[in-house]
């Protein structure tokens, strides 16, 4: 009882002190970051000594469903770190539909929160320039934060910096590219007389023809209507440094650079006149050769269901046994295989890797900008920036710490297999933590132990830094704020056409694209083109590559 009272008194005084000190430093933002920095080494000393640092509760916002056993995990975390971090986490979980607006409003209202999930597909592009988030450069590659230093390589940090060359996020990713594949019903393939796994588009096509002729009622290939063929038939060709693609609102623009890669010569968009395309080097000098996959898509539309454009959940369609294959990415392999086996007895799943060079696991085969799609940002208004970063430092200090959050309690939710694999235990259903919002890191990947050898190899391949390369203009990102209206107009006009194109519904795509392009001209395509030109030139002038 007395203890409780003391604790409460202590807590209250801490709150009071932190509020007062924050009031003092609130006048000047730059000052406050400066002062918190100087205190950082102090707190490390405290952690090393007998005295634990002051207790703090970090408030955070993530999205999705809260894992049922999160409390158990947090309790374990607090037990482990009472004497070192003395930190509690208070995470609120937004529904994924609301998260974006809620974060925006919280930042606008200046509400107190210590970390939020944010990413390019959320508010990052808008809120970073507006000064909502703290700069985090100094916490990385800093000996006071050994966990962060070890888990985030200098290049990784460098590539995740924003427009002003500062880092505003803790980037999360496991692989820099989730390999696109076509998942195939292995049992069906064998039943139809294909004894070996499919290794080329030709074989895939033969398989589809066979499905059409001998399995009535089964659709050869299931796709989502709004995404279409995506990477299927993506052209296999050597990259040209001088011609770089940029996709904006569905439209592909090619940026033509001078040979020294210092100036933008012109920007050619889908549907531009043949003369414009002719200024580009081969194979980009005609639309037919620049987008060879579009003809294939139209040809392959016979392998799709008739109502393809209305298909919202192609995976369920496949799982119900109505399709022989479906488009996906390799990260869901283990889960999908399990689901299929539970749904259809005797069924089995395998995959065909879509791109030749990746299928053959060649080095430097995957273009990437090394940007993580997901990240945590720390509001500039947070009073616990150092403590929050200390927490993430702890998280990445060891596999034990990391796996506690990503997979749950060892022996309850999962068990380790070797160095970097795991088996889920029965209780794992109670702890499905969205690692991409909080814990993912290329150095701490564990893969499911029941994956087959082929899959394991591809996972290893995509974890290997040597598989990747950064093409020219990789880290350029277009800022729409100057051309918002034009962007919205062009996108909503182009969207229906692009969607039909992607689903293989347009045979004469060349002339239809040209007609669309004329309509887009009236809606501001030219303005966007000039803005792209200006922004890329500014990016190159600033030393970007």
Partner 1 sequence: MSEATASALTPQEATKKRGKFAAFIYELIKNKFLYLLALPGMLWFFVFAYLPMVGIIIAFQDFKAMKGILGSEFVGLKNFQFFFRSGDWIQIVTNTLFLNTLFIVFNTLAAVVIAVMVTELGGKWFKKITQSVMIFPHFLSWTVVAMFVMAFVATDGGFINQFIALFGFEPIQFLSSPGYWPLILVLLKIWHGAGFGSIVYMATISGINPDIYESASIDGASRFQKIRFITLPLLKPTVILLTILAVGGIFNGDFGMIYAIVGRNPMLYPTTDVIDTYLFRSMMDLGDMSMSAAIGFMQSLVGFILVLTVNAIAKKVAPESAIF
Task: Kindly list the residues in this chain that would bind partner 1 in the complex (CB under 8 A).
Answer: 100, 104-105, 107-108, 123, 126-127, 130-132, 217, 219, 225-226, 249, 305-307, 309-310, 312, 480, 484-485, 487-489, 491-493, 495-497, 499-500, 505, 519, 522-524
CB of 64 to partner 1, least distance (A): 19
Q: Under a CB-based contact definition with an 8 Å cutoff, are residues 440 and 374 in contact?
A: yes
CB of 493 to partner 1, least distance (A): 6
HSE value, Cβ hemisphere, 13 Å, CA-based, for 114: 20
Q: Which is nearer to partner 1, 311 or 467 (CB)?
A: 311
CB of 110 to partner 1, least distance (A): 9
Q: Which is nearer to partner 1, 522 or 538 (CB)?
A: 522
CB of 315 to partner 1, least distance (A): 15
Tokens 């006009």 belong to which residue? 493
CB of 310 to partner 1, least distance (A): 5
CB of 453 to partner 1, least distance (A): 37
The Cα–Cα gap between 496 and 409 comes to 47
The Cα–Cα gap between 480 and 251 comes to 14
- Angle (CA) 403-408-412 rounded to 5° is 125
CB of 482 to partner 1, least distance (A): 11
The Cα–Cα gap between 341 and 352 comes to 19
CB of 97 to partner 1, least distance (A): 12
Q: Which is nearer to partner 1, 48 or 306 (CB)?
A: 306
Q: Which is nearer to partner 1, 5 or 312 (CB)?
A: 312
- Angle (CA) 436-438-440 rounded to 5° is 50
CB of 193 to partner 1, least distance (A): 25
Sign of torsion over alpha carbons 360, 361, 363, 366: positive
Q: Which is nearer to partner 1, 151 or 378 (CB)?
A: 378
The Cα–Cα gap between 65 and 72 comes to 16
Q: Under a CB-based contact definition with an 8 Å cutoff, are residues 138 and 152 in contact?
A: no
CB of 217 to partner 1, least distance (A): 8
Q: Which is nearer to partner 1, 209 or 519 (CB)?
A: 519
Residues 6 or more apart in contact with residue 174 via CB below 8 angstroms: 331, 435, 436, 440, 441, 442, 445, 463
Please report, for residues 107, 144, 147, 170, 515, the alpha-carbon distance to residue 138 in angstroms, rounded to integers and kept in the order given: 23, 10, 14, 12, 52
CB of 439 to partner 1, least distance (A): 27
Q: Which is nearer to partner 1, 5 or 484 (CB)?
A: 484
Q: Which is nearer to partner 1, 112 or 154 (CB)?
A: 112
Q: Which is nearer to partner 1, 309 or 432 (CB)?
A: 309
The Cα–Cα gap between 317 and 328 comes to 13
Give the burial string for 123-132 (b: 16+ CB within 10 Å, else e).
bbbebbeeeb
The Cα–Cα gap between 200 and 355 comes to 9
Q: Under a CB-based contact definition with an 8 Å cutoff, are residues 449 and 421 in contact?
A: yes
Bridge-partner residues for 180, per DSSP? Answer: 329
Q: Under a CB-based contact definition with an 8 Å cutoff, are residues 447 and 456 in contact?
A: yes
Q: Which is nearer to partner 1, 379 or 408 (CB)?
A: 379
For residue 24, what are its two tokens? 């003092």
Q: Which is nearer to partner 1, 21 or 480 (CB)?
A: 480
């Amino acid at each position: 009882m007395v203890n409780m009272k003391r604790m409460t008194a202590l807590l209250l005084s801490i709150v009071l002190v932190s509020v007062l000190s924050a009031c003092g430093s609130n006048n000047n933002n730059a000052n406050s970051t400066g002062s918190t920095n100087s205190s950082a080494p102090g707190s490390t000393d405290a952690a090393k000594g007998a005295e634990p640092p002051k207790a703090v509760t970090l408030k955070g916002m993530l999205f999705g469903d809260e894992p049922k056993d999160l409390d158990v995990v947090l309790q374990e975390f607090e037990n482990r770190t009472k004497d070192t971090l003395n930190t509690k986490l208070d995470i609120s979980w937004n529904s994924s539909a609301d998260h974006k607006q809620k974060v925006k409003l919280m930042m606008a209202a200046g509400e107190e929160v210590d970390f939020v999930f944010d990413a390019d597909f959320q508010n990052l592009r808008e809120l970073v320039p507006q000064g909502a988030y703290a700069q985090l450069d100094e916490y990385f590659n800093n000996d006071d934060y050994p966990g962060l230093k070890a888990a985030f390589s200098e290049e990784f940090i460098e590539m995740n910096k924003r427009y002003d060359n500062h880092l505003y996020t803790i980037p999360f990713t496991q692989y820099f590219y989730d390999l696109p594949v076509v998942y195939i019903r292995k049992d069906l393939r064998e039943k139809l007389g294909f004894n070996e796994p499919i290794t080329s588009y030709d074989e895939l096509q033969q398989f589809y023809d066979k499905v059409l002729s001998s399995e009535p009622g089964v659709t050869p290939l299931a796709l989502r209507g709004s995404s279409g063929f995506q990477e299927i038939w993506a052209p296999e060709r050597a990259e040209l440094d001088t011609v770089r693609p940029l996709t904006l609102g569905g439209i592909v623009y090619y940026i033509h650079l001078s040979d020294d890669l210092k100036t933008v010569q012109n920007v050619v968009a889908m549907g531009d006149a043949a003369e414009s395309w002719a200024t580009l080097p081969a194979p980009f000098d005609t639309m037919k050769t620049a987008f060879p996959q579009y003809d294939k898509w139209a040809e392959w539309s016979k392998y799709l269901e008739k109502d393809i454009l209305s298909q919202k959940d192609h995976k369920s369609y496949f799982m119900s046994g109505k399709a022989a294959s479906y488009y996906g990415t390799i990260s869901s392999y283990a889960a999908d295989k399990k689901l299929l086996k539970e749904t259809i007895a005797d069924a089995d799943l395998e995959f065909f890797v879509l791109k030749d060079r990746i299928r053959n696991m060649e080095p430097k085969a995957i273009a990437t900008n090394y940007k993580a799609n997901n990240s945590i940002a720390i509001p500039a208004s947070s009073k616990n920036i150092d403590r929050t970063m200390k927490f993430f430092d702890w998280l990445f200090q060891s596999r034990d710490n990391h796996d506690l959050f990503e997979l749950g309690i060892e022996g309850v939710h999962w068990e380790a297999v070797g160095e970097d694999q795991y088996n889920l235990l029965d209780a794992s259903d109670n702890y499905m933590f969205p690692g991409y919002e909080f814990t993912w890191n290329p150095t701490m990947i564990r893969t499911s132990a029941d994956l087959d050898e082929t899959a394991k190899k591809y996972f290893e391949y995509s974890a290997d830094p040597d598989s990747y390369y950064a093409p020219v203009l990789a880290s350029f990102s277009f800022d729409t704020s100057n051309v918002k209206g034009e962007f919205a107009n062009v996108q909503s006009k182009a969207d229906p056409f692009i969607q039909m194109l992607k689903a293989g519904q347009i045979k004469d795509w060349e002339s239809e694209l040209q007609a669309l392009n004329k309509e887009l001209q009236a809606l501001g395509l030219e303005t966007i083109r000039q803005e792209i030109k200006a922004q890329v030139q500014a990016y190159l002038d600033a030393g970007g590559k």
